[in-house]
Chains A and B, each alone.
Chain A
Amino acid sequence: MTGLVFDIAHLLAGCLVLVSFLMLYQDRLYALLNIFALHALVLALSVAWQALIQDAPHLYVTATIALLFKAIIIPVALHRIIQRLGIHRQIETVVGIGPTMLAGMGLVALAMVVMLRVATDVNVLAREDLAFALAVVLLGLLLMVTRRNAVGQVVGFMSLENGLVLAATGAKGMPLVVEISVAFSILIAFIVIGIFLFRIRERFDTVDVHVLDSYRGEQG
C-alpha cells in the first residue's frame, strides 16, 4: 500500500467520524439534515476511492447510491416533511450537548481500542477502516438515543448505516456489498415513506416519539 493512497483513504474515513461528531451537537433539524448530506457525500467519496484502489468497479454503484439517494434525495424529502409538519424549530435532545460529546469521545476511543487490538492479522488499511466504521456506527447509535424526534432518529440510523457501508467496502473483495447497500436503501425509503404516511393519514399530531410513548395499551 503506497503512502498517498493509504493517506487519502484514511483521511476520508476520518472525515466521516468527524462529520458524525458534527451531527451530535446540531439542535436544529435543517442543520442536522445538511450535515447528514455532507456525511453521505464523504461516504460516497470514500467508497469511490475504495473502488479505485481495490479496482472493484461494482463499488462505484454503492458510491452512486450513497451520492444520489442519501446525499440528495433523502435529505430533500426529509426537508419537505419537516416543512409540512412544521417541526423545524429545534430538536429536543434527551441529554445536553456536553455529556453527549463526552460520550461520543468515549465511544470513539472504545472503537479504536477494540478494533485496533483485535484485528492484528488484517492489513493496516482494512483494520483502521474497521475502527473508523465502528466509531461511526456507535456515534450513530448515540445520535439515535439522544433524540426524541422521529426525524432525528432516522438521521441517526442513516449515519449508523453509513458506517456499515464504510466497513463493508473496506473489507476487500466482500461479496454482496452492492446488494446490501440496496437492501438498506429500501429499508430507509420505507422509514421515510412511513413518517410521511403517518402524517398524511392524520393519525399523529406529532412525530415526537416521547408523546407516542403514552400509548401503551396498558392503561386502564
Chain B
Amino acid sequence: MSPFMFNSVAAVLLIPLGASVLLAVLPGYRLTAKLNVLATFLTLAAALSLFFTGRPKPGTYFLVDDLNIVFIVLSTFVGFTTSVFSANYIAHELETGRLTPVYLRFYHAMYQALMFAMNLALLANNIGLMWVAVETATLTTVLMVGIYRTHAALEAAWKYFILGSVGIALALFGTILVYMAAKPVVGEGTDAMVWTVLIKNAAAFDPALLNVAFVFLLLGYGTKVGLVPLHAWLPDAHAEGPTPISAVLSGLLLNVALYAVLRFKLVLAANPEALAPGPLMVTLGLVSLVFAAFMLYRRRDIKRMFAYSSIEHMGIIVFAFGMGGVLANFAGLLHMVMHSLAKSAIFFAVGHITQVKGTQKMADIGGLTETHPWLGWGLVAGVVAIAGLPPLGIFTSEFLVVSSSFAREPLLAVAVVFGLLVAFGCLLLRLNGIAFGEPRGSTAPAQASYAPMYAHLALVLAAGLYLPPPLVAWFLYIAGLLG
C-alpha cells in the first residue's frame, strides 16, 4: 500500500470534514458559497482518483471495492453539481430574507458535514461505523430541513427526526444481532463487525439469528430509503427544506441507506440456510411503487409530488435488487444512477421555479415554457426522463427491470408495469398544467444557473442513447457480485 492510495480515501473524508469546520466560522456568503463549491469539487476529484490509484487493502474500518466506488463517485458528483446550484439558490434566499447570514453559515457547514457522513457510510467496512455515519447524516439533514423555521418546516423536521430515529434504532438492533451471529464463528471483538470478515464467514453463522437481524436492518435502513409504509417523513422533509437539500436527499441519502441494505443482503445471501432476502425486498419495493404512483395524482405541492416520485423510484430499485440475478441487479444499479441524476436535475429546476413564482402550489404555476423557456423545457425534459419515456436513460433501466422480471415472474412484472403507467399518467397530467397553457404567477426573469440541470439531463440522455461498453462491463461485473 503506497501512501498515495491511502490519501485518496482520506481526502474523500477529510476535505468535507475540514470544509465543514471552515465554513462554520467564515463570514460572507459569496466567499463561502464559492468555497462550498470548491470543497465539493475537490471531493469529487478525490473520489475519481480512487479509480487510478489502486485500492487500499480492506482495513478494520474502511473498504474500497467495486460496489461502493459507484456510490461514492455518484454521490460526490451530485454533491458537486448541487453545490453549484445551491450557490445561486441561496443568493436569492438571502435577498428575500428567508435565510439570514448566520443561518447560511450553518447551512454550508451542515452541507459539508452531510457529504462527510455519506462518504463515511459508503466507505465504512465496519457495520458499527456505518451505522454511526448514517445517524450523523440523518442529524445533519434534519437540521437543514428545519432551517426556515416556519411551522411547516419545523413539523417536517420533527417528523423526520422521530421516524428517522426509530429507523436507525431498529437498524442498530439489527447490527447487534449480526454481531451476535458472527461472534461464535469469528470470535469476540472488532473483527465480528468487519464486513469483509462477515461475508467470508457468513456461511457458518446461525441462520435464524441472521434472519431476524435482516428484518430489523431492512425495516431500519428501509425507513431511510423511504419504503412504504415507513415513508411518512419523506414528502414533508422534501417539501419544507431548502431545495438543494431536497435534491441531495432524493439523489444521495436514499441511495446511501439502500447501500446499507445491499451490504447486509450480501451477508444473508452468503449463508445457504438463511431466508432469501429477495422476496421481502420485492414486496416492499412493489408496495412502494404502486402506492407512490397513486399518491402522485392528488398532489398540489410541486416538491411533494416529486418526493412521492422518489419513493416510487426507490421502490423500483429495491424491487430490482430484490429480484436478483445479473440482469435485474444491472437494471437496479443503472436505474439508481439515472434516478439520482434526473431527480436532482428536476429539483434544480423546481428550486428556481418556486423562487420565481414565490409558491410551491402547482395551481399557481403555469405556462412555464412560455415565460421561462429554459426552466420550463428543462423541467419538461426532467419529467419526461423520470416518467420513463425513450430515449432517455430511465427508459433503458425501467425496460430492463420489466423485461428481466417478465422472464421469471410475469405476474410481478405486470404489477410493476401497472405502477409505472399510473405514475407516468399522473406526472404528465401535472406537467401539462405547470409547463404549458396560460401563464400563471409571476413572470419575473429567473436568475438561474442552468449548467447543473442541463449537465445532469445530458448525462441521462447520453446513457439512454449509448452506454459505453466499459461502463456496461463494469456495471455487469458489480451486478454479478450482488448475486
Chain B binding site: helix, strand, loop or mixed by DSSP?
helix
- Contact indicator A171/B176 (Cβ below 8 Å): yes
Contacts A190-B139, A217-B236; is A118 near B208 (CB within 8 Å)? Answer: yes
| Complex interface residues of chain B between 93 and 135 (CB less than 8 A to chain A) | 126, 128-129, 131-132, 135
CA distance A191 to B161 in the complex (A): 8
Contacts A118-B209, A175-B190; is A134 near B165 (CB within 8 Å)? Answer: no
Q: Which of B135, B169, B184, B301 contacts A218 (CB 8 A)?
A: B301
B344 proximity list for chain A (CB < 8 A): none
The yes or no answer to A130 lying at the interface (CB within 8 A) is yes
CA distance A157 to B129 in the complex (A): 22
| Complex interface residues of chain B between 411 and 436 (CB less than 8 A to chain A) | none
A187 proximity list for chain B (CB < 8 A): 135, 139, 165
Contacts A153-B162, A172-B188; is A212 near B135 (CB within 8 Å)? Answer: no
A167 proximity list for chain B (CB < 8 A): 173, 176
The yes or no answer to A203 lying at the interface (CB within 8 A) is yes
A168 proximity list for chain B (CB < 8 A): 172, 176
Residue of A nearest to B187 (CB): A173
- How many chain A residues touch the partner (CB < 8 A)? 49
| Complex interface residues of chain A between 63 and 116 (CB less than 8 A to chain B) | 114-115
CA distance A175 to B191 in the complex (A): 9
| Complex interface residues of chain A between 143 and 161 (CB less than 8 A to chain B) | 144, 150, 153, 157, 160-161
Q: Which of A179, A186, A215 contacts B152 (CB 8 A)?
A: A215
The yes or no answer to B357 lying at the interface (CB within 8 A) is no
Contacts A121-B209, A137-B173; is A157 near B162 (CB within 8 Å)? Answer: yes
The yes or no answer to B12 lying at the interface (CB within 8 A) is no
Q: Which of A122, A183, A198, A217 contacts B240 (CB 8 A)?
A: A217
The yes or no answer to A6 lying at the interface (CB within 8 A) is no
- Contact indicator A180/B132 (Cβ below 8 Å): yes
CA distance A120 to B181 in the complex (A): 10
For residue A179, give the distance in angstroms from its CB to the closest CB of chain B: 7
**Per-position binary interface string of chain B over residues 172-206, scored 1 when its CB falls under 8 Å from any chain A CB and 0 otherwise:** 11001101100110001110110000000000001
CA distance A110 to B158 in the complex (A): 30
CA distance A114 to B161 in the complex (A): 29
CA distance A194 to B176 in the complex (A): 29
The yes or no answer to B360 lying at the interface (CB within 8 A) is yes
The yes or no answer to A1 lying at the interface (CB within 8 A) is no
Contacts A176-B129, A180-B131, A215-B155; is A220 near B361 (CB within 8 Å)? Answer: yes
**Per-position binary interface string of chain A over residues 189-207, scored 1 when its CB falls under 8 Å from any chain B CB and 0 otherwise:** 0110010001001011000
- Contact indicator B206/A121 (Cβ below 8 Å): yes
The yes or no answer to B239 lying at the interface (CB within 8 A) is yes
Q: Which of A122, A164, A172 contacts B169 (CB 8 A)?
A: A164
CA distance A141 to B163 in the complex (A): 11
For residue B481, give the distance in angstroms from its CB to the closest CB of chain A: 27
CA distance A126 to B181 in the complex (A): 12
CA distance A209 to B162 in the complex (A): 11
The yes or no answer to A119 lying at the interface (CB within 8 A) is yes
A137 proximity list for chain B (CB < 8 A): 169-170, 173
For residue A164, give the distance in angstroms from its CB to the closest CB of chain B: 5
| Complex interface residues of chain B between 387 and 441 (CB less than 8 A to chain A) | none
CA distance A185 to B261 in the complex (A): 25
Q: Which of A122, A144, A174, A180 contacts B184 (CB 8 A)?
A: A122
- Contact indicator B169/A161 (Cβ below 8 Å): yes
The yes or no answer to B300 lying at the interface (CB within 8 A) is yes
Contacts A141-B166, A157-B165, A160-B166; is A119 near B176 (CB within 8 Å)? Answer: no
B173 proximity list for chain A (CB < 8 A): 133-134, 137, 164, 167
Which of A120, A161, A175, A220 has the most chain B CB atoms inside 10 A of its CB?
A175
- Contact indicator A130/B180 (Cβ below 8 Å): yes
Which of A134, A171, A201 has the most chain B CB atoms inside 10 A of its CB?
A171
A-B contact sample (10 more), CB < 8 A, given A187-B165, A190-B139, A191-B165: A120-B206, A121-B209, A133-B173, A134-B173, A172-B183, A176-B126, A176-B129, A180-B172, A203-B149, A212-B154
The 8 A-B pairs with the shortest beta carbon distances in the complex, nearest first, are A173-B188, A176-B128, A118-B208, A212-B155, A175-B190, A121-B206, A215-B152, A167-B176
A–B pairs, 21, beta carbons within 8 Å: A120-B206, A120-B208, A121-B209, A122-B183, A157-B165, A157-B166, A160-B166, A168-B176, A173-B188, A174-B179, A175-B189, A179-B128, A180-B131, A190-B139, A191-B165, A194-B146, A204-B154, A215-B155, A217-B152, A217-B304, A217-B360
